[in-house]
Structure 1
Amino acid sequence: MATQFSLAHLAVLDCPPVAMIHIAQRTGYDFVSLRLTAVTPTEPVYALQNDPAQRREVKALLNDSTVQVLDVELARMPPELEPETYAAVLDTAAELGARHVLTQLPDLDRERATERFARLCDMARPLGLTIDLESPTWTATPDLHAAAQVLWAVDRPNAGIVVDTLHFDRSHDSVDMLRALPRGWFHYAQVCDAPAQIPETTEGLIFAARSERFPPGEGDIDIRRILAALPAIPYSLEIPNDTLSAQLGPEGWARRCIESARRYLKR
């Protein structure tokens, strides 16, 4: 089966959902990954859950498009947020036909974070959604081992782990461990490349993750080795690069990302 690709919103974050879906269709993506909540106070917010008119427009466009919604993001649960905060996000994800919801647990209280993750899974299950945990190096679940501990603890059938090749590389995660985990935990992966040198500060790690990623084959991560340890799943191309995307424009950048990914995976 041919590899399926999703255009991650972070790669073209200045594009509202309608423009992003048009770009994804013109450049050959199968899916989009929509960002419905903001992580930083300065980034654009496309809160379709709070905008019925825009939500209807997006839904109508999807119905006429070959592009579907792979996942929505981000259900991020720091200490001050309960899972119920994201009830409307889950409902919107289901309404738009999404399959998965990306989640982070920046909470040092692992017991509380795990209990909240389990509750979010229970909220999402009747909607046909999986809850997929990613493990950026600067969060309280900073690697694959920590994410796996959460999934073993919650034991929910719709719980998953999102492997992001950047975070996997910079957390020094183990491919052997990845191969040993249950195949049903992995519903999609986030794919990008990056230089070999790892930033030494949290600020540097975050900046590189949001602004300096590269298409597969244009950096130093052994992406093939990571992906070979996963089942056949869609790849969300989460490749924000401030300099290159400004030079090429959002559509040109989206096209370069998918063309580079296809070339890399064919080698």
Structure 2
Amino acid sequence: MPHPLGLELLTMLGLDPVAHVTMAADLGCKGVSMGLTQLPDRFNPHGYPAWSLRDDPALRREMKAVMADRGVTICLAEGLGVSHDTDASERAADMDLFADLGALRVNAVDMGVERERAFDQLAALADMADERGMEFSIEFTPVFTIRSLDEALEAVEHIGPGKATVLIDTMHFFRSGGTVKQVAELDPALIGHVQLCDVPRKGDGDYMAEAMSGRMIPGQGELPLREFVEALPRGQVLGLEVPLMAAAQSGREARDYVGEIVKRTREFLV
């Protein structure tokens, strides 16, 4: 398969970052997405102990050591989005921590902030990432301000040439009206990161609830994922964002169901 796989933060459902990296390596994945703190309790069905890369220097040292030893990289730094009440400048310390951890790229989503503020704050975050040697990507979702690939590309243009890329999450992309043709025609340099999952073509409930806990393993839904992946630049990392909440709540071990996600994705994309 010409695309290496990664394991996204949401897929791990609260697992600590060292175990996350270790599992990724054991399953043949070369990248992870990572936040600085554990997800809220509702996304921790296993009841894993709380952790914080922000507040625990020893955990950061252990994280760096295991990444170096196992050849795994933080492909995507998460949790640094745009909000109504936080200025981009307040993200500086977290940016420093991600840079120290060797993160390749910072991702941001607008969280429903009004367009002018969203664009300006994203531009400030992009500059901050660049100053620290990290790339910057913008994630779009149909229920926030930047709702589609075209609108994300408008934000990239606002930020300036070479300063930002887009993150394409397959649920958000196809639910916002995206097509494989759009991906095939997109400048490959504008694709910063891809998050892969499957869903029905149309949802019938709470969009964000589905996004956080109702995604499917590639091949189990209705999205044209084979064609989508074929249209991507060769070598593009595919971050698996498939939080199998029901499997976790049933008592299955994370290694079991995360291994199933990776195995079935590889089989599907062959």
> Structure 1 residues 59, 159: closer, same or farther in 2, change over 3 A?
same
RMSD: 2.0
Q: Give the equivalent residue in structure 2 for 1:242.
A: 245
Structure 1 distance, partners of 2:39, 2:162, is 27
Query: Quick one: structure 1 residues 49 and 235, their matched pair in 2 at CA, closer, same or farther if it must change by over 3 Å?
Result: same
SS of 1:85 mapped into structure 2: helix
Match in the other structure for 1:27: 27
TM-score for the superposition, normalised by structure 2:
0.89
For the structure 1 residues 178 and 10, does the alpha-carbon distance in structure 2 shift closer, same or farther, using more than 3 Å as the test?
A: same
Query: 3-state SS of the aligned residue for 2:157?
Result: helix
Cα deviation per residue 1:207-233 (whole Å; 9 max; x = unaligned)? 111111111111111112222332221
The residue identity in structure 2 corresponding to 1:93 is: F
> Displacement, 1:49?
2.5
Aligned letter for 1:257? I
Residue in structure 2 matched with residue 7 of structure 1 by the alignment: 7
Separation of aligned partners in 2, 1:174 and 1:32 = 26
Per-residue CA distance 1:57-77 (angstroms, 9 max, x = gap): 111211211222211102111
Specify the SS of the correspondent of 1:124. helix
- Give the structure 2 partner of residue 258 of structure 1: 262
Letter in 2 for 1:143: S
Q: Which is further off, 175-184 or 206-215? A: 175-184
% identity of equivalent residues = 28
Listed as ranges, the matches of 1:26-175 within 5 Å are 26-36=26-36, 42-43=42-43, 46-175=51-180
Q: How many residues align?
A: 263
- The alpha-carbon deviation at position 42 of structure 1 amounts to 4.9
Compared with structure 1, are the counterparts of its residues 255 and 41 closer, same or farther at alpha carbon in structure 2 (3 Å cutoff)? closer
What is the alpha-carbon distance in structure 1 between the residues aligned to residue 32 and residue 17 of structure 2? 9
Q: Which residue of structure 1 lines up, in the alignment, with residue 196 of structure 2?
A: 191
Shift of 1:162: 0.6
Q: CA deviation at 1:46?
A: 4.5
Per the alignment, in what secondary structure is the counterpart of residue 50 of structure 1?
coil
Q: In structure 2, do the counterparts of structure 1 residues 246 and 156 end up closer, same or farther at CA, with 3 Å as the change threshold?
A: farther
Alpha-carbon distance in 1 for matches of 2:33, 2:122: 21
Q: 1:208 to 1:122 in 2, by over 3 A?
A: same
Residue in structure 1 matching 2:227, options 225, 228, 243: 225
Q: Once the two structures are superposed, what CA deviation does each residue of 1:110-131 show, in whole Å capped at 9, x if it has no partner?
A: 1221111111111111222111
Q: 2 CA distance for matches of 1:20 and 1:177?
A: 33
Q: Deviations over 1:83-106 (max 9, x none)?
A: 122212221221111111111012
Contiguous gaps of at least 5 residues in structure 2? 45-49
Structure 1 residues 38 and 63 mapped into 2: Cα distance closer, same or farther (>3 Å)? closer
Which residue pairs with 2:47 in the alignment? none
For residue 240 of structure 2, what is the amino acid of its counterpart? L
Tell me, yes or no, if the aligned pair for 1:118 and 1:156 is still in contact at 8 Å: no
Aligned CA distance change for structure 1 residues 140 and 261 (closer, same or farther; 3 Å): same
Aligned AA (2:232): L
Q: Which residue of 2 aligns with 1:213?
A: 215
Q: Distance in 2 between matches of 1:159 and 1:196?
A: 29
Asked whether the 8 Å contact 2:214–2:244 carries over to 1, the reply is: yes
Match of 1:178 in 2: 183
Task: State the partner residue of 1:18.
Answer: 18
Secondary structure of 1:33 counterpart: strand
5+ residue gaps, structure 1, are none
